[in-house]
Amino acid sequence: MSEIKKVVLAYSGGLDTSVIVRWLQDTYQCEVVTFTADIGQGEEVEPARAKAEALGVKEIYIEDLREEFVRDFVFPMFRANTIYEGEYLLGTSIARPLIAKRLIEIANETGADAISHGATGKGNDQVRFELGAYALKPGVKVIAPWREWDLTSREKLMQYCEERNIPVDFSNKKKKSPYSMDANLLHISYEGGVLEEPWAEAEEDMWRWSVSPEQAPDQATYIELTYEKGDIVAINGERMSPATVLETLNKLGGENGIGRLDIVENRFVGMKSRGCYETPGGTIMLRAHRAIESITLDREVAHLKDELMPRYAKLIYNGFWWSEERKMLQQMIDFSQRHVNGEVRLKLYKGNVILVGRRSSNSLFDESIATFEDDAGSYNQKDAEGFIKLNALRMRIAASKGRKLID
């Protein structure tokens, strides 16, 4: 008899997680609670209810988490200008800690002994889900079917469904995308298929959210973003909620061919993986945030943020959102944003995010000092001589002692 009486499953309603529901019931003889989150994946989540009911699930959670996702996860990440390995905007990575949080909360609410997910044993998501779960509930049992069962192919999964009368729409199997895709309000990712060959160009009909730069309008789109404490609160003067901000920027960016990315990244588990991503809104946000910071942040604060950012990005990518060190870094980042207020004006044109203006009542840009015209004594150019000599002192001493830099 299994010691697991009840398990909470992160349930999408698709083939894999539908199989997992029945597999958990058969293997562990336990009750399954399903949790389906709407984080902006662009598909209806309510049909998951009927599918779960058909599998005998009694406790079904379907929740709209879009605002929480952007407000409490995406926006804090973008305050740090976060980017992994110079390119990846962490669209999948940042969604996992929210799902892990709700899995644990639902486990506590329902008295479940365990949680379960559909991540494979090759990927990063298993790490992200489980690190989050253990951080929030140290003694929780985690069941990862892909690390236990022998259903190692789509064909075996389909056969399992047929044998056990699992309600899956087999008529759509020929229409299924050849790619493994993950979508939320920040991005959509593509892996597998022809993308497993790093030399092969991604097929044009793969992309879902954006037109190609070649097909984007010949007329540029101008937008103005309003910032308060590092977060966008309005677009073109219209105040919006966090989720609406990102939805709007995704639409504007996608229409202008912005946000496509093709990278080979280093997974936490050790392998390299080639993936393509569409992150139109996030691409705009990153460019704009750096622009507003350029006039509102102290130089050394800005430079320190840039030094810390790769570490912060790595923590998110590797699944350590709920760690003490990420929380510590977040407090530093959020403190830096208290004067990051103002407006940024951008031009969106054929895949490009072009900065055309920035302004802030908290700006540190002083035109009277920076001007190439007469500064009326605001800056004494003679001061530069001593500044340069002091900075050169150690190098002058070394050279005078015979140390040569040129052989």
Containing 62, the helix (H) or strand (E) segment is strand 59-64
| 378 labeled part of a ligand binding site | no
Instruction: Say whether 179 counts as a known binding-site residue.
Output: no
Question: What token pair was written down for 14?
Answer: 């698709």
Q: Is 11 annotated as a binding residue?
A: yes
Q: Is 128 annotated as a binding-site member? A: yes
- From residue 311, how far is each of 94, 124, 304, 305 by CA, in Å? 15, 17, 12, 10
For residue 82, the tally of other CB atoms under 10 A from its CB is 25
The per-residue DSSP string of 84-100 comes to: BTTTB--TTGGGHHHHH
* Spatial contact of 89 and 83, defined as CB atoms under 8 Å apart: yes
17 is in an annotated binding site: yes
Residues recorded for the chain: 407
Q: Where are the beta strands (DSSP E) in 146-220?
A: 180-183, 188-191
Nearest Cα residue to 249 out of 210, 213, 286, 284? 284
355 annotated as a binding-site residue: no
- Report whether 189 belongs to an annotated binding site: yes
Residue 250 annotated as binding?
no
188's tokens: 């959509």
Q: Which of 16, 72, 334, 375 is catalytic?
A: 16
DSSP β-bridge partners for residue 8: 33, 115
Cα separation, 272 vs 179, whole angstroms: 17
What is d(CA 128, CA 142) in angstroms, rounded to the nearest whole number?
12
237 is in an annotated binding site: no
The reply, when asked if residue 13 is annotated as ligand binding, is: yes
Please confirm, yes or no, whether 262 is among the known catalytic residues.
no
Q: Report the amino acid identity of residue 157.
A: L
b/e per residue, 334-369, with b = 16+ CB within 10 A? eebbebbbbbbbbebbbbbbeeeebebeebeeeeee
Q: Where do runs of H (alpha helix) occur along 256-382? A: 280-296, 299-317, 324-336, 367-370
273 in a labelled binding site? no
Q: Is 180 a catalytic residue?
A: yes
Strands (E), 144-299: 180-183, 188-191, 221-228, 231-235, 238-239, 260-266, 272-278
Q: Is 2 a catalytic residue?
A: no
Catalytic residue among 22, 66, 79, 96: 96
96 is catalytic: yes
H or E segment and range at residue 251: helix 242-255
Which of the residues 49, 71, 72, 180 is marked catalytic? 180
Q: Is 317 annotated as a binding residue?
A: no
- Of 38, 113, 125, 182, catalytic: 125
Binding-site residue ranges for L-aspartate: 120, 124-125
Binding-site residue ranges: 10-18, 37, 88, 93, 118, 120, 124-125, 128, 180, 189, 265, 277
Binding-site residue ranges for L-citrulline: 88, 93, 124, 128, 180, 189, 265, 277
Binding-site residue ranges for ATP: 10-18, 37, 118
Q: Give the active site residues.
A: 16, 96, 125, 180
